[in-house]
Structure 1
Amino acid sequence: MNENSTLSAFKPVRRRTFEDVTSQIREQIAQGALREGDRLPAERVLAETLGVSRNTVREALRSLEYAGLLTQKPGASGGAYIASGGVDVIRSAFDDLMSLGTIRAPDLIEARIVIGREVARLACERHDATDLAALVDNVEKTHKAAEAGDLPLRVRYSLEFHKLMALAAKNPVLTIMTNVLTDTTMKFVKAIGEMPNDFVLASRKRMLEHLRHRNADMAADEADAYLRTTLRSYLRDAQLPPVGR
């Protein structure tokens, strides 16, 4: 999208407050007129178009940056850009809630199991050849990392597997939630220390077979069993909730 077409979508504001500016930018994002990676016009141009001061525009952009909707890039080609959906903001919010004790380990476990089951079920039904190839490649890399005794690398590939499964489920909300919950769990792993999980590769191979045969029920059960086992290892003091089909 070029800057001229972006400018045509904006209208002069009446109250001349930074909230009016942020509201117009949010509206353009909601309508799809502004998309991820689009660059906003320069502060001076926005201020002239909207009939507000540059300080008002600057305050609005700062507010949207804090909200995770914009990123500011320095340099000659820099400026304000539409961010990638605010996933980092959701992740930060989860971190804060964990720190405050609002979200406890059992809550995290329950959410991961519930979402993990449904992600596996949908991945069986919706995955394509590209998804399956990426998952097979991930399992091969996990195996090589395990053989080399590279535990941090094996953990990294293991976490990536869950994110690839979510992509295969073809639901952006589940993808975001899986990424956030997986990354939050990783904070526990780092605090406790990575532990060897001999059951990981066996579970991964079974999951690939369920995917190939599109056996959704068995994939869901495999995801449930795997998550309960691995989360019990890392969060051994937390009570596992009774989550079933």
Structure 2
Amino acid sequence: MALRLFEEVYNSIRRDMMRGKLKPGDKLPSERDLAEQLGVGRPVVREALRALENSGVLEFRKGASGGAFIRRGDGRAVSRTVNDLVFLGTLSLDQLAETRSCLLDQAVRLACKRGTNADFAALEANIERMRVAIKAEDVETSIFEIMDFYSLLGTAAKNDVLTVMIGSLSEIIAQILLALRPEHLTDLVTMRLEVLDEIKSGDADAASAAMAAHMEVLHNYVVEKSDNLHALNLQPFDTKA
């Protein structure tokens, strides 16, 4: 099937990225210059640039030195795709939770081998912030800290791919928790301290078992309370990125 003009422009820019001609932070030529270079109209270029922005490749900056810039990569585009597929019914929440548990199992096992004292201190500080936020009944901050724990695990595991994938699968869990506003978040503090203690001891099997028990409680709650996702009136989770 023939590509539409804007898709050809979209793919042309992505090819330049794949070949190293465009790198994070690079500014693209103006719409007019791109249109002349590629032999298309400016509306076609504009549509392609907006599609690249929506996919997380570009960001637009305002001002005299503004324009379209290649973004430094993050997992937000993956998060949006996963969330959309869940809400469209292509992926089940149950399977998402199962996959997330598998990734977190690998994260804690790698953290046992690769984690540093600085990583452990960051995880401890995160758990303390979560405890304080829960005590203050600040649900939004509590849930942000709950989700940030997983990113810090990825850092301790020294695996950026795991960090991105876990974060992408965690966003919908955060949305659901924000909507449900569970009353027993304090249990998570105790469970996470147990996971961290096992990671610090370097016992991968014990850390894996502690994380599995933690995830079973959380995922069972989320899946049980989310039979009809569309009825929860969910809002996108602010990752404060």
**Same fold by TM-score greater than 0.5:** yes
Determine if contact 1:69/1:86 at 8 Å carries over to the other structure. no
Per-residue deviation, residues 37-84 of structure 1 (Å, max 9, x unmatched):
332222334345555554443343233223331122233222111124
| Partners of 1:63 and 1:151 in 2: CA distance | 34
Determine if contact 1:151/1:196 at 8 Å carries over to the other structure. no
Residue identity in the other structure for 1:44: R
- 1:228 is the counterpart of 2:216: yes
Using the TM superposition, name which of 129-138 and 43-52 deviates more.
Answer: 43-52
Residue identity in the other structure for 2:96: L
| Partners of 2:20 and 2:116 in 1: CA distance | 27
| Partners of 1:121 and 1:21 in 2: CA distance | 43
The corresponding residue for 1:116 is: 104
| Structure 2 residue runs without a partner (length 5+) | 228-241
- 1:208 is the counterpart of 2:203: no
Residue identity in the other structure for 2:11: S
Alignment of 1:16-165 (within 5 A): 17-50=5-38, 53-85=41-73, 87-165=75-153
Determine if contact 2:150/2:163 at 8 Å carries over to the other structure. no
Q: Percent identity?
A: 35
TM-score (norm 2): 0.80
Q: 1:20 to 1:112 in 2, by over 3 A?
A: closer
Per-residue deviation, residues 82-128 of structure 1 (Å, max 9, x unmatched):
12436332222222222222222211221121111111111222223
Using the TM superposition, name which of 40-49 and 195-204 deviates more.
Answer: 40-49
Larger radius of gyration: 1
The corresponding residue for 1:7 is: none
The corresponding residue for 1:12 is: none
Q: Shift of the alpha carbon at 1:189?
A: 1.3
- 1:188 is the counterpart of 2:179: no
The corresponding residue for 1:5 is: none
Determine if contact 1:106/1:238 at 8 Å carries over to the other structure. no
How well do the aligned residues superpose, as a CA RMSD in angstroms? Answer: 2.6
Using the TM superposition, name which of 79-88 and 112-121 deviates more.
Answer: 79-88
**Number of residue-to-residue matches in the alignment:** 224
